[in-house]
Amino acid sequence: MAKSLEDLTVDELLAHAKRMEPAANLFQALQSDPSTRETLQRAIKKIAPQTSIPEIDARDAVSAEIKTERDARLALEQKIMERDIRDRLEKQRASIISGSSETTSSANRSEATSPAFSAFVCG
């Protein structure tokens, strides 16, 4: 079983620190570089999800809230668009029906009641 750091002598601690120095330097370089910092922090969160990393935690919370708001807005926009289309179609249908009843003479009534015309008007 491996010893804990508390169980090591001063010489063993020094040797351990020298062995860990390259890894510590690499970690520090990755953490200091803006292009790798977030990737490193996300890797830490993946391995240890309970680790508190305020930069990542705050960004994720804001992103989740923005996504919720965006989804609600898109759903509302879709409903408004559907309502506008439905209203426009109803107005067109009413216009066609009222226009055909005003202008249809007895000679043209057979055309207005043809199956093709009915299919067009009734949709």
- Res 8: pLDDT: 85
Between CA 41 and CA 59 the distance in angstroms is 12
- Res 118: pLDDT: 56
* pLDDT band, very low/low/confident/very high, at 114 (cuts 50, 70, 90): low
Between CA 84 and CA 94 the distance in angstroms is 15
Mean pLDDT of 70-77: 97
- Res 36: pLDDT: 95
Is the full-model pTM beyond 0.85? no
Residue-level length of the chain: 123
- Cβ 92 vs Cβ 123: under 8 Å: no
Instruction: Using the predicted structure, report yes or no on whether residue 67 has a pLDDT greater than 60.
Output: yes
Mean pLDDT of 25-35: 94
* pLDDT band, very low/low/confident/very high, at 121 (cuts 50, 70, 90): low
Instruction: Using the predicted structure, report yes or no on whether residue 3 has a pLDDT greater than 80.
Output: no
